[in-house]
Chain A
């Protein structure tokens, strides 16, 4: 039974320079008991459509055309009607459970308030119902926990509370805007299962908005692929993912890292639909000449031995609250060999970023030793030597928006490290050097005089790579380098990293929470859990034949998508 019908919906954003369509001619329908996914890259307008349904489009956006029918009632732009429907017929779930609950009210206050807004239940009945709801979404001891404040719940539990609030007045439609993006894989799995169960138990229609193809593959019946405010493909999820029609959709699906095998490079399509295999092969010549030829030796380049890190900054009358006394790393050991790419995988709080920071010298270890070749990196005796060695280890960070100094031109961002290590370099060779670096990461030389804010996330990440290569590093640490990027951009950046590694004989330490990405990038993997290593093995062994319980669990929860490459 179709109960939500959207026809020719147009939403515009008027900006200083132009009008942007967040939605252009969007039409689709939703039945009860059905889950529809809207997927698209950032800026594709997917969230705006969700907000338009409940008439909460952020200013200065406005709906300029189209209709939204809920049970044959026109609700588009109809604040009068929509106010009685919000929360009652349509429930809404936001992305970040940390911020979607009012911190000063107990869960009970917020549930009872919502229930009493839409029904005639008295206070006792409303509490009774709230407790039932909390139990339904999987909160234990719900009769006690109902009196707690939001910050007393963990992230996943909070999202359950949010879901309880969203379904508290028996809505027909649930709109979930990136409901699991802020959560770890294992918790994401549980929340998705809960949503699936609710559609069956309550005959709900769910509209789920996400950028994550894994979520789409896992839970939706139908999918709507959006790009620049337009629908590029709409159909049964299975069909769309295995036999996409449009070029945009094809290139999107081809960019998804496959979970079932390792491919050598991602392929992508030109706007005309031709396959491109992008390579920077001929451009690296100058760099190789500059660096000198590197022999691939396969000897141990990094020795991370018995490292423990405790964050413990207790001070009397300290200004900042002391960080929780937590063992971020507990006796962690591994080696990296020259020329390989070594992966660290784990959920948030597993200590993977702490390892990166220790290797780079940003944090000292509490116990243990780190050797780069044969140089102990935290031995005070080696202080001067380490300074010269710093350039050999470089890092690429997660957030492309904060990893470049916004006040520096691209030219200065790349030349700063060169000048630091070659104090006497003349202007000509400096420019030559900067040009070579910007060439190999695939950014045009005309960009050198521009500032970071003029570039997209993917381009910025390329610039970060150029900066990291400026010191002629041998070990490149990549800390979630693509997790903030859209999937097609991610594919390009990963290809670039692979090309560079091959041609420049780099050693890579690749850190990610994303198993499919790790599978594509790494030769060997260490699985981390709460500061300890569960298992280290060849990538294929880990994926085909995991030994440790935790690894098995992670693989089981990983959303599975077959590659069409």
Chain B
């Protein structure tokens, strides 16, 4: 079954363009490796950095292995609390990826639902939805996420907020991203809905729900997939930014952004690795997704298709 799917994929035009693009292959290998490693964090990472018995202040500020004072026990050194950098990073990327994926899935569902229905049904409903997206696009996504986070803080207490940080962030980022999906799906829906195969379905008498689900949606998946990919890297960056600004994940449960935030305090005193490694890791993650998205945009764009 799975070899079958891979075979059909490689036979298709997209598969061909994938195999021809070194960038696409390399970036997807990197991306899926990171996803795999972070999924298997419990097995792969050298330590569990949140288990107090693995952490000793004695080990704090150990530099990476190749520097003077480095230790074989901590490949990439330790942070101010003596936690192994590599392990905290693996666990941190797990959090970043969970938030990234969940918020994008949330934004995709909301945006695609509103985009398809408003584009297809039209009328007053469409006007309201599009005005709403216009207004929200007035507010840049990072600001929107900050506002949602701020409002959540108004309703729940500080300690509860730390525990619920993951849900608050998914909500905040998801809400800040959906208008893009709504706009693009609506535009694509407007194109599809006037195509003759949709008219033919209407003439047969198929219901609107069936037409939207079975006919329109499968035909607009490509642009949605492209913006979802690029949106994923944006979501991961937004999460790390919020954490860096101190309104995301608490130090007890750090994401990559939180690690950078605290490492930043030690930049001037020379402990560069505490900031540097999580930052590089974050950039590689975002870059691999962006490269993949960039390739996808070209490969899935019928206009640029090379015969």
Contacts and interface: CB of A to CB of B under 8 A. Distances in A.
Interface stretch (A268-276, A369-377, A388-396): A388-396
A407 B204 CA distance: 18
Interface in A422-468: 464, 467-468
A16 interface: yes
A403 B197 contact: yes
A387 B203 CA distance: 10
A471 B204 CA distance: 8
Interface string B193-229: 0011101111111100000000100110000000000
Contacts of B204: 390-391, 394, 416-417, 420, 471
A362 B127 contact: no
Contacts of B158: none
A393 B203 contact: yes
Contacts of B215: 405
A150 B126 CA distance: 33
B195 A420 contact: no
Most buried by A among B130, B195, B196, B215: B196
A402 B127 contact: no
A124 B215 CA distance: 59
Nearest to B127: A319
A399 interface: yes
Interface string A91-102: 000000000000
A406 interface: yes
B9 interface: no
Contacts of A403: 195-197, 200
Contacts of A405: 197, 201, 215, 219
Nearest to A407: B218
A420 B206 CA distance: 7
A88 B16 CA distance: 44
B306 interface: yes
Given A16-B16, A318-B127, A407-B218, A361 B196 contact: no
B190 to A, nearest CB: 9
A315 interface: yes
A319 B307 contact: no
Nearest to A61: B307
A28 B16 CA distance: 40
A15 interface: yes
Contacts, number: 64
B195 A360 contact: no
Query: Residue among A420, A464, A471 with the most chain B CB within 10 A?
Result: A420
A89 to B, nearest CB: 32
Nearest to B203: A360
B70 to A, nearest CB: 51
Contact of B196 (A315, A387, A394, A402): A402
B197 A402 contact: yes
B203 A395 contact: yes
B205 A390 contact: yes
B98 to A, nearest CB: 31
B195 A60 contact: no
Nearest to A406: B219
Contacts of A467: 200
A407 B89 CA distance: 42
Contacts of A407: 218-219
B17 to A, nearest CB: 10
Interface in A1-36: 13, 15-16
A104 interface: no
Contacts of B218: 407
Given A360-B203, A405-B215, A15 B127 contact: no
B199 A362 contact: yes
Interface string A208-221: 00000000000000
B126 A319 contact: yes
B205 A420 contact: yes
B249 to A, nearest CB: 39
Given A362-B202, A407-B218, 11 more contacts: A13-B307, A16-B306, A319-B127, A319-B130, A361-B202, A387-B205, A390-B204, A398-B196, A402-B196, A403-B197, A420-B205
27 contacts: A16-B16, A315-B127, A360-B202, A360-B203, A361-B202, A362-B202, A387-B205, A390-B204, A390-B205, A391-B204, A393-B203, A395-B200, A397-B196, A397-B200, A398-B196, A403-B195, A403-B200, A404-B197, A405-B201, A405-B215, A407-B218, A407-B219, A416-B206, A420-B206, A464-B200, A468-B200, A471-B204
Interface of A: 13, 15-16, 60, 315, 317-319, 360-362, 387, 390-391, 393-395, 397-399, 402-407, 416-417, 420, 464, 467-468, 471
Task: Give the 4 A-B CB pairs with smallest separation, nearest first.
Answer: A403-B196, A397-B196, A390-B205, A402-B195
